[in-house]
Chain A
Amino acid sequence: MKSRWLILTVIVVAIALPWCFYDWGHHRHAGFLISMLSQMGMMVILALSYNMLLGQAGLFSLCHATFFGMGGYATIHFLNAAGDGGLPLPMEVMPLLAGLAGLGLAILFGSMATKQRATAFAMITLGISELMATAALMFHHFFGGEGGVTTNRMIDNSVFGLTYASGLQVYYLILAWTVIATGLMYFLTLTPLGRMANATRDNFERAQFIGYDPRMVRFLQFALSGFFAGIGGGLYAITYEIVTFDALAAPLSANALLMAYIGGTSVFGGPILGAILITLLQSGVSLLSNSWLVYVGVMFIAMVIFAPTGLAGIIKAHGPIQQAGRMRGLLVPYLRLVIPALGLLLGFVGLVELMSFLTIGAAQGKKLVLFGSAIDVHAMLPWAISIGSLVVGGLWLRWEASGFHRVWEDLAAEVRR
């Protein structure tokens, strides 16, 4: 019951958000915000479809972007055909065609890759990913080489009579397809295939004993995840109207992994959270700092060490306590954590930015502006503050964390009773 309201709220917020940031002065929408929201939608589909493999089937795939990219390339060609009049299908159906392209390719590659599991599977997918990325650079006919292939999304064929000239209309199309795809992926987890995927992840020998072929389960899961990834790729093609080899290269697969893992692989909604967060980080933080890769790397490592269940896992762990109505007991411990955590963050960010500026940024003619005030890199004070903040914040956090841990354990034990 609760979760239904949550889903409804999220959808309403997603629809309303562009209007909250409307630029009344220039009478237009904030293009950057709509771009970022559109990107989030595509990434949500990518991350969720990746989690079908990682979280639900225990398959570590390194070629997920291949299906996303191929869906994108196929859609560009479909759109070009539609624009020339050769393909009389409306725009709203294009992502479905993209999904079918992804499905076809996933069936082909899946028959090779899913014969194995675990690391052998991962290595086969790595090989596939490298091959496809290089092929995209070499062959012009389908891939267009380094420049990629372009299209014009105004094909004049829409069920709702829209032109898709404005980013806002495209965003709503993406939103609609994201909701549909998410819903379908969720229902898949409730089907026997979804359940058996979990079973083969947990103990494939036992799954074999009860009569299911783990290979078949892996293959079907792989194929379907390719279908959804293809849908994401189709939306990518419609939004940017250009697809280059980056859309199927390894960094995008790495992104999918990042999003799914940080969001949380054990909860269905985890990758959604991860996709939103990572998109914010990459598009937003990279506007502020060129060391954003360090922050992503550190955050990733911190999650892997301290919170392997991901953000959603952490939130879910609060479930029993919340249901028992004992969340109040956590309020003060959390506050006590927040302050040293902020100190630690301030110290770390300050140190990284100072070091980066010293070696890279100064020569670029930029001035270091942290939290709104200009900083002189050669003075002792900023360094002292950063290092002090880092050390003090770190030690204090450790002390508070053990206290928090005790409170948590007590509450959890109480709730269990």
Chain B
Amino acid sequence: MTSSVRRLCFAFVALSLILAIRPAVAEDTIKVGYVDPFSGPFASGGDEFLKVFAYILAKVNADGGALGKKFELVPFDDKLQPAEALIALKSITDQNIPFVMQCTGSNVGAALLDGVAKHNARNPDNRVLYLNCGALATELTNEQCDFWQFRFAGNVEMRAVARIKALPKDVTKVYLLNQDYLFGQSIQHDTRKWLAKLRPDIQVVGDELMPFGKVQDFSPYIAKIKASGAQSVVTGNYNRDLNLLIKAAVDDGLNVRFDTYLAHLIGGPTAIGAAGENRLTSIVEFDPNVPVDLKKPDAEAFSNGWRANHSTDFSEVPFLTMFQMLARAINTAGSTDALKVALALEDMKATDLVGAPVQMRKEDHQILMPFYAASFSRDVKYDAEKTGLGWKTYFTATTEDLTLPTVCKMKRPQS
């Protein structure tokens, strides 16, 4: 054979093999395409969520699933890159999977939102719904809102309101420190906006953006914070950027509060450890001590079912709410047709695992849900990640508190 023909054969065989070997999936399930990073440096997020979803779907499927069928996740690795997510979307629509779900990264979320909108407009006979379980940028349900997206996570602005309301009365000087990219800037913007509205008595003595993931040594920032006389550092930093910040503060002996947004993210308690005792707070959707405070033994049992087999905690109640509401919507619609499910899903009211009222608002497809401000302390029944310290709720921002106005002007489809 000539080398050219051989090359072509190789290409053909490879292509057909790749396309032929698809994950063997049963026909009597409702598939949901799940797009998140599963490889590379950000794989820990996608990996953990996949395990959580397995646990959640076991319950939802045991409760009957939807239309008598079970839910099944079909994962796609997007390596946290929008182009890869869009390629995954093509694969999802090719396989006639009616739902695409994504939980990590607003850059990918924005791309998917746009991609789904365009796909649905250009292919009205093969529409999909975008279930946003973790792209938090406020714009996605404001300026960039779209009929085909349903966000099941509290956006940045909701968290900002919860954060500000949870600041103690005796704090009058805060220092804002955030990461210098869209998410961090969004937190900075919304924090300032709501500080002005809800706590005009608070003086912002410092407002800083730092390069995302690049700073190795935080002692200069600690020096600045100390010089400013701030009582509390309000920050949206997470993972490394938060852990190193707190370590530097403890090393320095600086006695300042850290009122954070995301200290509870997986890995945070382990990395911060005893250094965070009684000075660290975060805005959580759920932690194992919430059902203890609210006296909900079923929820506590569910949370313990996870804890028994994992070193991390179950905190993703919104994921459970998402599938429960989705199942109801599919049952109401009688099919998985995107438009019918969307019409059934919007404006749906439900209660979450601990019985709090939640609502999928029709105006912008943003879920309205409560948040809890928790402080990292020893005085709890359940600790976090086996560190001996756990999250203790000291303030609850109810669903009503967090029902905020939106500038969304959604274009609704004709049919």
Contacts and interface: CB of A to CB of B under 8 A. Distances in A.
Q: Is the A/B pair a real complex?
A: yes
Interface in A23-42: 23, 26, 28, 30-36, 39
B2 interface: yes
A9 B86 contact: no
Contacts, number: 148
Given A28-B126, A315-B7, A287 B111 contact: no
B81 A246 contact: yes
B39 A21 contact: no
A276 interface: yes
Interface of B: 1-4, 7-8, 11, 14-15, 18-19, 21-24, 38-40, 43, 47, 50-51, 53-55, 76-77, 79-84, 86-87, 90-91, 93-94, 96, 106-107, 110-111, 114-115, 118, 122-123, 126, 137, 139, 180-183, 185, 211-212, 214, 310
Given A26-B96, A364-B54, A138 B111 contact: no
B39 A147 contact: no
Chain A CB count within 10 A is highest, among B39, B90, B137, B211, for B90
B82 A240 contact: yes
Contacts of B93: 31
A208 interface: no
Contact of A2 (B4, B90, B181, B214): B4
A2 B5 CA distance: 11
Given A137-B180, A138-B180, A284-B14, 8 more contacts: A21-B19, A35-B87, A137-B212, A138-B181, A152-B118, A322-B3, A364-B50, A366-B50
Contacts of B4: 2, 5-6, 9
A146 B39 contact: no
Interface in A1-52: 2, 5-6, 9-10, 13, 17, 21, 23, 26, 28, 30-36, 39
27 contacts: A2-B2, A6-B4, A21-B19, A30-B19, A32-B19, A32-B90, A32-B94, A33-B15, A36-B87, A134-B211, A138-B180, A145-B185, A147-B139, A240-B82, A241-B114, A246-B82, A246-B83, A280-B14, A286-B79, A287-B22, A291-B39, A363-B51, A364-B50, A364-B54, A365-B50, A365-B55, A366-B50
Contacts of A116: none
Q: Which 9 A-B pairs have the closest CB atoms?
A: A365-B54, A146-B182, A284-B18, A145-B182, A31-B90, A147-B110, A32-B91, A6-B4, A364-B50
Contacts of B54: 364-365
A83 interface: no
Contacts of A273: 7
A54 B122 CA distance: 41
Given A36-B87, A166-B122, A365-B50, A146 B94 contact: no
B111 A364 contact: no
A244 B114 CA distance: 13
Contacts of B1: 327
Contact of B3 (A10, A288, A318, A369): A318
B366 to A, nearest CB: 17
Nearest to B310: A363
Interface centre among A146, A166, A245, A365 (most CB of B within 10 A): A146
Nearest to A145: B182
Nearest to A371: B21
A210 B338 CA distance: 70
Interface string A206-236: 0000000000000000000000000000001
A290 interface: yes
A147 B137 contact: yes
Overall SS of chain B's interface: helix
A104 interface: no
Contacts of B111: 148, 150, 240, 242, 244
A293 interface: yes
Nearest to A316: B3
B87 A322 contact: no
Interface in A257-298: 273, 276, 280, 283-288, 290-293
A75 B21 CA distance: 36
Classify the interface of chain A: helix, strand, loop or mixed: helix
Given A13-B8, A30-B19, A322-B2, A242 B94 contact: no
Contact of A146 (B91, B107, B126, B211): B107
Contacts of B50: 364-366
Contacts of B40: 293
Interface string A346-375: 000000000000001001111001001000
A77 B49 CA distance: 36
Given A21-B19, A246-B83, A290-B39, A360 B47 contact: yes
A146 B51 contact: no
B76 A244 contact: no
Nearest to B114: A150
Given A6-B4, A147-B182, A293-B40, A280 B82 contact: no
B107 A241 contact: no
Contacts of A280: 14-15, 18
Contacts of B115: 240-242
B179 to A, nearest CB: 9
A146 B126 CA distance: 29
A165 interface: yes
A141 B125 CA distance: 37
B87 A32 contact: yes
A183 to B, nearest CB: 18
A178 to B, nearest CB: 15
Contacts of A2: 2, 4
Query: Quick one: which of A247, A285, A318, A365 has the most chain B CB within 10 A?
Result: A365
Contacts of B90: 31-32, 34-35, 167
B112 to A, nearest CB: 10
Contacts of A167: 90
Nearest to A6: B4
B182 A290 contact: no
Contacts of A360: 47
